[in-house]
Amino acid sequence: MELKYVLYVGATPDKVWQALVSPEGTKAIFFGSTLLSTFEVGSSYEYVGPGNDGDETVHVYGTILVFEPNKVFSTTEHPGPSYNPDHARLQTRVTITLEPVGGTTRLTLVNDQWSDNHPSFERTSENWPYILSNIKTYAESGKALDYGW
């Protein structure tokens, strides 16, 4: 199973990268969550923000596989403990690649290597377009979209 999305962002790879990893960017595009990590290959990360467990809910967590600023960000990903009691067994890989194309950036997201019987595939396939649209809009304008939630 694989989810793959390609979009073009009217911003430089550096601006898109900042949307993906800066505290301001992640809060805007990931619905109030901050990305916590040292960003070293092999280190852990967590997206933490408002949710099931209050303001410090761990939404997803995992390990940094590749971290090449302005180019590639790849991680393993597990659902947060409050989302599934079997969270440690449930894993996918997320790889975001940025490539300059003229005055734009081609962003490719691949979400693959789903563990057997992972219950979140369908929901994740529906949620990535919201997040990717936020990345594009935030990198281009400095503001996230208002989904009315």
Give domain limits for the chain: 3-141
109 has a pLDDT exceeding 90? yes
131 has a pLDDT exceeding 90? yes
**Cross-strand bridge partners of residue 63:** 44
- Count how many Cα atoms sit within 13 Å of the Cα of residue 23 in the half-sphere of its side chain: 4
**Cα separations in angstroms, 50 against 30, 31, 63, 85, 131:** 10, 8, 21, 19, 16
Q: What is the pLDDT of residue 52?
A: 85
End-to-end CA distance of the chain, in Å?
Answer: 29
Q: What is the pLDDT of residue 45?
A: 97
Q: What is the pLDDT of residue 148?
A: 87
**CATH number assigned to the domain with residue range 3-141, chosen from the 4 options 3.40.50.1000, 3.80.10.10, 3.30.530.20, 3.40.50.2300:** 3.30.530.20
Q: pLDDT for 68-94, tens place per residue? A: 999 999 999 999 998 888 999 999 999
Contact 64/85 with Cβ under 8 angstroms? Answer: no
